[in-house]
Amino acid sequence: MAVNNSLAQKAKTPSPASVFQQFIKNSVVQENLLTTLGDATRTKTFTASIISNVSMNPDLAKCKHTTIISAALLGETLKLSPSPQLGQFYMVPYKQKAKWQDGEIVEPECTVATFTLGYKGYLQLAIRSGQYKKLIVTNIKEGELISWNPMTEEIEVDPILDDDERSKRKTIGYYCYFELINGFQKAMYWSYEKMLNHADKYSPSFSKDATGGKYPKVSYADYVAGNIPRGTEWQYSSFWYKDFDGMAYKTMLRQIISRWGVMSIDMQTAYTNDMTFRNGIGESDQPQYTEEIVEPEQAEVVEKQPEAIPEQNPQPVMNTIQKQPENAYEPPVESDRPEPIEYSNSLF
């Protein structure tokens, strides 16, 4: 009898996804969305899309509802797709610790959805600006690099043309290059070790070396070799573990475009909001960065989100971009702002 009562109680408890569906279909929320999007059909399509994404991702459904909608709205206004298969942007769950003031909790602990731009999102926004004639980001394999001159930014390579053979070679670095319509060119090369150190420094959920403590991790080299204890897989949910090349591509694009490239209004918006969340739906709500220290349970939340992981082993991106109608853009923005908190389950 007690078992039957327990089952009946569970049956009556609505799932997080159904609770979110009720929330977003609320007339007040729909009215706000209509005001923001400006079109009834677009609002209906957006609502259906976000409900579908939340339904397929149980951990996303547990996030604070307004942060889910805000992240999705940002992607919608930038005309980027939330589809994990396209890899343009992701809505990644993070747990925020409770905030205290004068011995009292002013904000309880909660899970929020962060807007996380993928490297393909950077490419899309660069293409749309109409300012880039060429944009290349790729990995460099062992045996390909002949020389790199950081002063003249001249690189000499002997590319491996056999894809199967190339995929077997060890990655030794990453190269990014662009040429603007006006003829300005810029190139950048990072060694694999430099990228590894960058990830170790700016991604709290990634560690290059083995760590101790309550939840010890093996080194990244051991992780790649598959030498991880059974049952600890959830600790390696960071995109830097799951898709190191994809995160490296994003890092290269962020570095070179933010320092020397032309950043359209949309590109600046995406850049400044990458890895942030908003508690409200309105434009007055300011973006907030997730906590710098990721607790183990945070990584576990993300681990249950396989559909939010970018495609594995992305192919080198070598696009020759045709000139497009010019859009409004601002002068290049130089920034040494470090990579914000992990799109942990970095990318990036």
In terms of DSSP bridges, do strands 263-264 and 329-330 run parallel, antiparallel, or are they unpaired? antiparallel
Distance, in Å, from the CA atom of 32 to the CA atom of 66, rounded to the nearest integer, reads 12
Look at residue 84 in the predicted model and tell me its pLDDT: 82
Specify the higher pLDDT residue, 96 or 201: 201
**How many angstroms separate the CA atoms of 239 and 274, rounded?**
15
Positive or negative torsion for Cα 219, 225, 228, 233: positive
**pLDDT class of 115 with cuts at 50, 70, 90:** very high
* 226 burial via Cβ count (<10 Å: 0-12, 13-18, 19+): exposed
pTM of the predicted model as reported, rounded to 2 decimal places? 0.75
DSSP assignment string, 167-220: HHSPEEEEEEEEEETTS-EEEEEEEHHHHHHHHHHH-TT--SS-B-SSS-B--H
Selection from 54, 55, 46 nearest residue 75 by Cα: 46
60 has pLDDT over 60 = yes
Provide DSSP, 115-145: EEE-HHHHHHHHHHHT-EEEEEEEEEETTTE
Name every residue whose Cβ is closer than 8 Å to that of residue 21 and which is 6 or more positions away in sequence.
51, 54, 55
Q: Residues 151-199: pLDDT tens digits? A: 999 999 999 999 999 999 999 999 999 999 999 999 999 999 999 999 9
How far is the C-alpha of 296 from the C-alpha of 227, rounded, in Å? 20
The single-letter DSSP state of residue 56 is H
- Going by DSSP bridges, is the β-strand pair 154-157/110-117 parallel, antiparallel, or unpaired? unpaired
How far apart (Å, rounded) are the C-alpha atoms in residues 53 and 134? 34
Structure confidence at residue 92 as a pLDDT band (50, 70, 90): confident
Which has the minimum average pLDDT: 22-26, 179-183, 308-312? 308-312
Question: How far apart are alpha carbons 277 and 237 in whole angstroms?
Answer: 20
- Tell me which H or E stretch contains 225: none
Residue among 246, 288, 227, 224 nearest 67 (CA): 288
324, 326, 331, 332 alpha-carbon torsion, rounded to 10°: -10
